[in-house]
Amino acid sequence: MKVIVCGAGQVGYNIARYLATEQNDVTVIDQSAELIRKISDSLEVRALVGHASHPSVLEDAGAPDADVLIAVTYADEVNMVACTVAHALFNVPTKIARIRQQNYLQPIWADLFSREHMPIDVIISPEIEVARAVARRLQVPGAFDVMPMCDGLVRVVGVRCTNDCPVVHTPLRQLTGLFPDLHIVVVGIVRDERPIVPDSDDAMLPGDEVYFVCETGHLKRALAAFGHEEPEARRIVIAGGGNIGLFLAQEVEAHHAGVAAKLIELNVERAKRIQQLLGRTVVLTGNALDPEILEEANVGQAETFVALSNEDEVNIIASLLAKRFGAGRTVTLVNSNNYGPLVGQLGIDAVVSPRAITVSSILQHIRRGRIRAAYSLRDGFGEVIEAEAIETSSLVGKPLRECKFPPGTIVGAIARGGQVITPRSNTVINAKDRVVIFATAEMVKKVERMFSVQLEFF
């Protein structure tokens, strides 16, 4: 697949890295010679210095033969024009744009991005995606990561194992015998920042971050097996009234009637405007690092404190203060990769990375075959993919033990007719089944091919 990535920032870099790992033909465009030099030195991609929306630059990048254009520069207008030029002059089939400015995304202007006006196939709004990701974490206390799949029938969940976790030191092959009601499949373990694709002899250890696939109806039971029986949040405090904080408060008001939310915003004018846009959320004006404001917000009685300001350092310190005041759980937005290993050690419960969420959102729209959804785990570890099995696939009609899945892949669940099947070696995949499968970054391409129509791959 030939892909053009416009923008060499963190999101553009990571998309290029993912796609290059899968042996795609990737070209990256950016006006910054320094960023282009960094990409050329570290990735096996073609990199060009230039203005991403200029026709001549897109032509030099190979737009006439491109399958996908992904526009993630810092300027919304450049992203929109790049997609329009790619469509009008080069007929690029798939065009994806990151749009940050919410004024463009108001429902009353929805016709702007129609095929007749500005033909963008997929629009990614990082602020909305991040707010939704935080809301999912609020619904599943004890999890640091949650992703629904198969129309909500299945969840991919990340949890941290503690010393008193009931399932630690138990080989995975013994879990079913010891916990017969535990219908989960462990698909990934991160130990001391090192990713592990587990086999049946591996055991989880205290301190491990574990990703598992579970039927949604069994989620509470699964979390209890990992020692997480925290009640769902009924009182939350949000620090930061930017777009993400506002969207999260609106999400809580719209879908969680029993939840009382308070929002802390430093800017007086912004706080007034937020209060006008919200209904039952209490908006407080002040600094989230000020103990008096935290006391006024009654942080000590909150089940969850969410730090969503634009400053990583403010978010981290505010979360630590909230913990000290007695908040049950902290969810912290962190942009920088440098803080990742540190944050967990400090006692922060869940970290939200806008870059990783945006990359995941984009990747699921460029997967080939019958890929319904894709979600990346950590940085470069791999992806959990939801794929539909088609009649011509070599997987259909065979027990899983006879299916030639590549190394580094684990089948996590199968959804069939509204029911979820926990896969075993004798489980048979039928046509139209939704299969949830983990694949390391190097094996994603092979998994795509297994679920594609073309028979020559087999």
Neighbouring residues of 75: CB distance < 8 A, sequence distance ≥ 6: none
**Residue 454: pLDDT over 50:** no
| 351-408 pLDDT, tens digit each | 898 888 888 888 888 876 678 888 888 777 889 999 998 888 888 888 999 988 899 9
Q: For residue 419, what are its two tokens?
A: 């029911």
Quick one: pLDDT at residue 449? 82
* pLDDT-based confidence at residue 453 (cuts at 50, 70, 90): low
Environment class of 53 (CB within 10 Å of its CB; exposed 0-12, middle 13-18, buried 19+): buried
- Mean pLDDT over 185-197 rounds to 91
Q: Is the pLDDT of residue 419 over 60?
A: yes
Q: Could you check whether 2-124 and 235-357 share the same CATH topology?
A: yes
| Confidence at residue 409, expressed as pLDDT on a 0 to 100 scale | 94
- Per-residue model confidence as pLDDT tens digits over 3-37: 999 999 988 998 998 888 878 899 999 999 999 99
Choose the weakest-confidence range: 108-117, 184-193, 258-267.
Answer: 108-117
290-315 exposure pattern, b = at least 16 Cβ within 10 A, e = fewer: eeebbeebbbeebbbbbbbbeebebb
Domain extent listing, the chain: 2-124, 235-357, 359-457
pLDDT at 368: 67
Look at residue 262 in the predicted model and tell me its pLDDT: 96
Q: Which fold has domain 359-457?
A: Alpha-Beta Plaits (3.30.70)
Q: What is the pLDDT averaged over residues 37-49?
A: 94
pLDDT tens sequence across 163-179: 888 889 989 988 877 87
Catalogue the E-assigned strands of 43-126. 46-49, 68-71, 94-98, 122-124
Pick from 368, 2, 62, 37: nearest CA to 13: 37
**Which CATH architecture does the domain made up of 235-357 adopt?**
3-Layer(aba) Sandwich (3.40)
Average pLDDT across the chain, whole number: 90
- With 60 as the cut, is the pLDDT of residue 456 above it? no
Q: Is the pLDDT of residue 455 over 50?
A: no
- Note the pLDDT tens digit of each residue in 282-332: 999 999 999 999 999 999 999 999 999 999 999 999 999 999 999 999 999
- Cα separation, 377 vs 144, in Å, equals 12
| 46-60, 89-103, 225-239, 443-457: which is most confident | 46-60
pLDDT at 274 over 60: yes
By DSSP bridging, strand 304-307 and strand 235-239 are: parallel
139: confidence class by pLDDT, cuts 50, 70, 90: confident
Amino acid at 275: Q
Tell the CATH superfamily of the 2-124 domain.
Answer: NAD(P)-binding Rossmann-like Domain (3.40.50.720)
- Strand segments (E) across 120-271: 122-124, 143-149, 154-160, 184-191, 194-196, 209-215, 235-239, 260-265
